[in-house]
Homo-oligomer: A and B are copies of this chain.
Amino acid sequence: MNEIARTIAATGEPMGPAEFELAIRAVGAERYHDKHAFHKLLHGGKLNKGQVQAWALNRYCYQAAVPRKDAALMSRTHDRELRREWIHRIHDHDGLGEEQGGIERWLVLTDALGLDRDYVISMEGALPATRFAVEAYVRFVVEQPLTVAVASSLTELFAPSIHRERIAGMLQSYRFVNEEVMAYFKRRLSQAPRDADFALAYVKRTAATRSEQEACVDAVRFKCNTLWVQLDALQHAYVEGNVPPGAFRPTA
């Protein structure tokens, strides 16, 4: 925090909209999981198939939790317009009618990696740290003030660049990855910005006091932490070779 920011924080004046947005975006620059060593290994083609399997298997837990998290948010608001907008996130992940949605696209990825679908869905082989982090995110959205819960989704502001990097890096690096397998990330390139724009405008409009704004910035930090923890756990288990009891053990 620079001198001026420190003075403003001390006086308790709310940030202006531009300053508030910058504070949110600064969290991404500092700690979004594209900075993580495991991410760099994944996208740089430095992992073997078993390690990519472990990543996809664990990340499934997060994908599968997203609609529960979004439904929890919807269950908390009397604002019909907010629910009517937010429901698209559930459609994106669970699908709607003929459209099968993002979770199914994720299972296409795990299928292609040679993982048994029932095993993936059971989450039996997932790292406990993954599941704890994911459920911490769901609980955060259940329990925090609504605006703060909305703010925790704002890591989507940082997602398109990681997805573009991931698509390019993984297609180039791994012979077991093709365009069909990467369909999840391609779809998210258009979904995430729309969602993030709405959520950012909502948070800027509804977080009125300095302390509410700071709680929103903290929510983005919290969310980054839940993502970072997942990559830490993968690195510790599957790069450094400390697979905990009961977790997936690659044979590939």
Contact = CB atoms under 8 A, between A and B. Distances in A.
Given A75-B75, A87-B87, A80 B94 contact: yes
Interface in A56-96: 64, 67-78, 80, 83-84, 87, 90-91, 94-96
A90 B83 contact: yes
Nearest to A69: B75
Contacts of A96: 84, 87
Interface string A36-64: 00000000000000000000000000001
A71 B67 contact: no
Interface residues of A, number: 25
A80 B69 CA distance: 13
A103 interface: yes
A83 B69 CA distance: 12
A94 B90 contact: no
Contacts of A80: 64, 67, 94, 103
Contact of A75 (B72, B87, B103): B72
Give the interface SS of chain A, mostly helix, strand, loop or mixed.
helix
A94 B84 contact: yes
What number of copies of this chain does the assembly contain? 2
Nearest to A138: B75
Interface string A89-114: 01100111000000100000000000
B83 A67 contact: yes
A138 B77 CA distance: 12
Nearest to A87: B90
A142 to B, nearest CB: 8
A30 B212 CA distance: 50
Contacts of A68: 74-78
Could you say which of A73, A90, A95 has the most chain B C-beta atoms within 10 Å of its C-beta?
A: A90
A149 to B, nearest CB: 12
Nearest to A77: B68
A77 to B, nearest CB: 7
A68 B90 CA distance: 14
A51 B78 CA distance: 26
12 contacts: A67-B80, A68-B74, A68-B78, A71-B72, A71-B75, A74-B90, A75-B75, A75-B138, A80-B94, A80-B103, A87-B91, A87-B94
Query: Nearest 7 CB-CB pairs, A to B?
Result: A71-B74, A72-B75, A71-B75, A71-B71, A68-B75, A83-B94, A84-B94
